[in-house]
């Protein structure tokens, strides 16, 4: 069971780190690029962008969620339960932010271009960016703890 848990931890770390890199790209490149698309072309762009991004984001988020749950159930050696619950809380922050903030904003933008809504998307996405960044450090710590 220990080898299996180690494998799950590595998969979890890979998903977290991939999401961290992706969310920084979204925060610093993708969402700010919305400003350049403009109202005339934005509707078609907005219909394609989330769907294409979702092909990458969806599997990574579900992998992170599933492996995170597994690690709560089968704790890696050397990793205190509190650390795992902190990681789970940050996963919840990312999911809640996605469902309650980013998805509705994307839907609003699909219906109508609005500069203020684009700025709100960029501003509110900092919550996910920070949460995933903290998770990346946290998960690296778990890997180090599990090796002792």
Spans of all domains in the chain: 2-146
Q: Is the dihedral of CA 77, 78, 82, 87 positive or negative?
A: negative
Contact predicate 73/85, CB 8 Å: no
Q: How many CB atoms lie within 10 A of CB 55?
A: 9
How far apart CA 3 and CA 54 sit, in angstroms, is 31
At 3 the pLDDT is: 55
Q: For 75, which DSSP code?
A: P
- What is the value of pTM for the model shown? 0.91
Angle between helices 81-97 and 115-146 (to 10 degrees): 160
The residue-averaged pLDDT of 98-121 equals 92
């Amino acid at each position: 069971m220990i080898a299996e848990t180690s494998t799950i931890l590595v998969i979890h770390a890979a998903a977290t780190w991939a999401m961290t890199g992706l969310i920084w790209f979204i925060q610093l490149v993708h969402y700010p690029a919305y400003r350049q698309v403009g109202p005339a072309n934005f509707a078609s762009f907005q219909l394609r962008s989330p769907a294409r991004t979702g092909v990458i984001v969806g599997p990574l988020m579900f992998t992170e969620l599933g492996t995170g749950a597994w690690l709560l159930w089968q704790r890696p050696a050397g990793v205190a339960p509190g650390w795992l619950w902190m990681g789970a809380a940050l996963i919840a922050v990312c999911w809640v932010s996605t469902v309650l903030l980013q998805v509705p904003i994307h839907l609003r933008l699909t219906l109508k271009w609005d500069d203020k809504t684009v700025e709100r998307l960029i501003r509110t996405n900092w919550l996910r960016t920070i949460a995933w960044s903290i998770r990346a450090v946290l998960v690296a710590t778990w890997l180090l703890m599990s090796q002792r």
